[in-house]
Structure 1
Amino acid sequence: MKKSLLLIVFLFALQFGYAKSDRVNLGLKAGFNTSKIKTDYEQFNDGSVNNFLVGAFARINMNRVYFQPELYFTSKGGELKDVEAGGTESFDLSSIDIPILLGAKIIEKKMYTVRIDAGPVMSFITKKSETDSDETFFDVDDLKDSYMGIQYGVGVDMWILSLDARIENSFGDFSDGSGKEKSKSFLFTLGIRF
């Protein structure tokens, strides 16, 4: 938590240093995501759950290209349905995510800008929970406490508003269990740039 606070203070100081040039923008963002965990076990169908995210970002503008680190708290999760034995198990994950994005402004007009961006994301799991079930076929404690992924998507800026739609995929297996699990999320956020 102290590191997160120091990062936010640093970003605000950076913003004040570049305020006149409009080279660096800071902002707050919030939105929702739909996420699921995909497994290699054939008897399971994966289902998605809807959750939220809230955080901050900094955009360092270099003409049509920009660099955008972000920091946000998000809730993720998933649902596994056992098609052979029946039963469904749901689980929730809370995490602090840090994407480091590189983007390009592909359309720049007076009233709006259309952007594309992509980059790595590091997720630090802060809480794991699953629904109470008589038959537990997935142990949420097997999920790693942190994992890497990639985000990519599109965005639109209008006035001080910043709207983004992205896909996030984890790299490799993010479980220590016997199966291979991957996380996939769709994120939709609305931000305010200062």
Structure 2
Amino acid sequence: MKKILPALLFICGSVATANAQLLPGVEVGLKGALNFTQLKNDGKYFNSDNKTGYQAGLYGRVGVLGFHVQPEIYITGKNTKVVSTTDGGESTDVKFTSVDIPVLLGKRFGLGPIGARINTGPVFSFVVDEKQDKNIGAHLQASNYKKNSTSWAFGAGVDVSSLRVDLRYELGLNNIQKGTTEKTKINMWSIGLGYRLFSI
């Protein structure tokens, strides 16, 4: 009996944990992040250096069958320095302010308050403001930027109690410039910190 009882308790605990993971759950929290943005141009008209930007907003997480869907919405400031390769090496600071909406599919590993996560999915970005200190030729003008773009995110994260830490890379999928065959895309790294407000 001394050996059987601990075994039964272990099995019951394992079944209860497995059932808890299979049941749906909802979580809502705050999120902030630093990002590092780069413009990629296949025409080689300019080079782009990373500059620090920000993100601030909300995230949600709906879990079912061991996976979770994580929609988010936040304001993003994307900053980069662009150096022309065709206009005498002139440079300009380019800034985008956008509303970004990722919809990610993820998997969590771990039990209780500590766990690791991986996730991936599309990010829909809607520019609300764009600025630069000067134009560089016809290949980089604020009026040529599209108001929306799509990227694909790949990320990993850690949960520690109510804290959420995320490292993410967003790969630009579409050309953000109008009226040109040369494709310019936005790629971005971000490291973020979130806080769970409540879960049910």
TM superposition score category, shorter chain reference:
0.7 to 0.9
Q: Equivalences for 1:79-118 in 2 at 5 Å?
A: 79-84=81-86, 85-105=88-108, 107-118=109-120
In structure 2, give the amino acid aligned to 1:46.
S
1:10-36: CA deviation from partner (whole Å, max 9, x where unpaired): xxxxxxxxxxx8810100011110001
User: Please, which moves more after superposition, 172-181 or 92-101?
Assistant: 172-181
Question: Contact 1:78–1:90 at 8 Å: present in 2 too?
Answer: yes
Deviation at 1:40, TM superposition (A): 1.7
**Residue 193 of structure 2 corresponds to residue 183 of structure 1:** no
Aligned to 1:34: 36
Structure 2: state its 5+ residue gaps.
Answer: 1-22
Question: Contact 1:89–1:136 at 8 Å: present in 2 too?
Answer: no
What is the alpha-carbon distance in structure 1 between the residues aligned to residue 47 and residue 136 of structure 2? 19
Identity %: 27
Q: Whose radius of gyration is greater, 1 or 2?
A: 2
Q: Describe the shift of the 1:134–1:104 C-alpha distance in structure 2 as closer, same or farther (beyond 3 A).
A: closer
SS in 2 for 1:141: helix
Deviation at 1:186, TM superposition (A): 0.4
Q: Equivalences for 1:45-194 in 2 at 5 Å?
A: 45-84=47-86, 85-105=88-108, 107-132=109-134, 138-178=140-180, 179-194=182-197
Question: Contact 1:123–1:146 at 8 Å: present in 2 too?
Answer: yes
What is the alpha-carbon distance in structure 1 between the residues aligned to residue 46 and residue 129 of structure 2? 24
What is the alpha-carbon distance in structure 1 between the residues aligned to residue 131 and residue 30 of structure 2? 28
Deviation at 1:132, TM superposition (A): 3.3
What is the alpha-carbon distance in structure 2 between the residues aligned to residue 35 and residue 153 of structure 1? 16
What is the alpha-carbon distance in structure 2 between the residues aligned to residue 36 and residue 91 of structure 1? 10
User: If the length of structure 2 is used for normalisation, what is the TM-score?
Assistant: 0.80
Question: Contact 2:57–2:74 at 8 Å: present in 1 too?
Answer: yes
Question: Contact 1:114–1:156 at 8 Å: present in 2 too?
Answer: yes
Deviation at 1:136, TM superposition (A): 7.2
Structure 1: state its 5+ residue gaps.
Answer: 1-20
1:96-150: CA deviation from partner (whole Å, max 9, x where unpaired): 0000000001x30445100000111110000010013686751022111011111
What is the alpha-carbon distance in structure 1 between the residues aligned to residue 143 and residue 127 of structure 2? 11
Q: How big is the alpha-carbon RMSD for the aligned residues of Structure 1 and Structure 2?
A: 1.9
